[in-house]
Each structure stands twice: as C-alpha cells, then as structure tokens.
Amino acid sequence: MKRFFMFSAAAVVLSLSSSAFALDGKALLGKWQLTERAKDSEGRPCPFVGQQIVFTADGKMISPNMPVAFRYKVNPDKADAAAAVERNPELKGMEIMLAAVGNGQPDWSKAPIVYGLQLNGNQLIMKVSGYSLSRYKRDK
C-alpha cells in the first residue's frame, strides 16, 4: 500500500512538471521530413500536414505541398489552448499549436487549425482532429 501511494505521488509530480515545461517553439525550428502521413477513417491523407515542413523563426510553417505558408503559435495562452482542446477533444494531453493563414496578426482564439504536438528529440508527432498521427524526423 505504501508503494502505491509513493507511485501515485510520483505520477502526480511528473504530470505537474511536464505541464510546467511546455514545448519550446525554438525546438521546432528547422526542416522536418514526414515518415508517416496522417489519414482519416477512410484512408484519405490529411491536407494540413506536408511531406516536408519548415518551421521558421518568424512564426511560419512552410510546406511545398501546402498552398500557402501558415502562421503558427506554440504554447498559446491557457484560455486559447483550453478553447482549442474543447473544440478538438482528441488533442487533450498534447502540446497545442495553433495555425492560421495570412500575413496579419491572427486572432489566436479563433485559429482555424489546431495541432496536437509531441516532440521527442528529433522526432515530432503532429495530430489534427479526425486524422491519425503524422510522424516526422528532423532533416539534417
């Protein structure tokens, strides 16, 4: 029983610490190569993930097979992130990245595209609601 409580306490501490250390946008910078493409339940590829994605320091996500560059924001404020997860509940537990098209300053609370992200070293997982996971590796 004592081990159970110690394990539970450790799990709580780990979950709190992981949420305290949100994804650093700088960690995304650079070029990423797709290794597994997201698909919907009928096998159609997700149009919001590219074969290759470049994240730039000025907040743009560029892909050759996307018609325009998207502006992106990782670690949106708590209200924007909560609203995004409420609209896309399957992204709960993932880091949130919001994306919008256009050159002006987007209203992130109304961002039309929401990604769930998980970054582990040189591997990036991106999730869009209604699609399976997309997996990327950092292109050197």
**What domains appear along the chain, each with residue ranges and CATH number?**
23-138 (2.40.128)
Higher local confidence (pLDDT), 9 or 110? 110
**Pairwise CA distance, residues 120 & 126, whole Å:** 12
The pLDDT confidence band at residue 14, using thresholds 50, 70 and 90, is: very low
pTM of the model: 0.78
Contact 73, 59 (CB under 8 A): yes
| Residue whose token pair is 């590796």 | 137
- Rounded to the nearest 5°, which phi and psi values hold at 139? -90, 125
pLDDT digits (tens, 9 = 90+) for 24-78: 788 999 999 999 999 999 999 998 888 999 999 999 999 987 778 889 999 899 9
**Pairwise CA distance, residues 45 & 38, whole Å:** 6
**Pairwise CA distance, residues 124 & 25, whole Å:** 12
Cβ within 8 Å of residue 105, ≥6 positions away: none
**Pairwise CA distance, residues 9 & 38, whole Å:** 36
By CB atoms closer than 10 A (0-12, 13-18, 19+), residue 18 is exposed
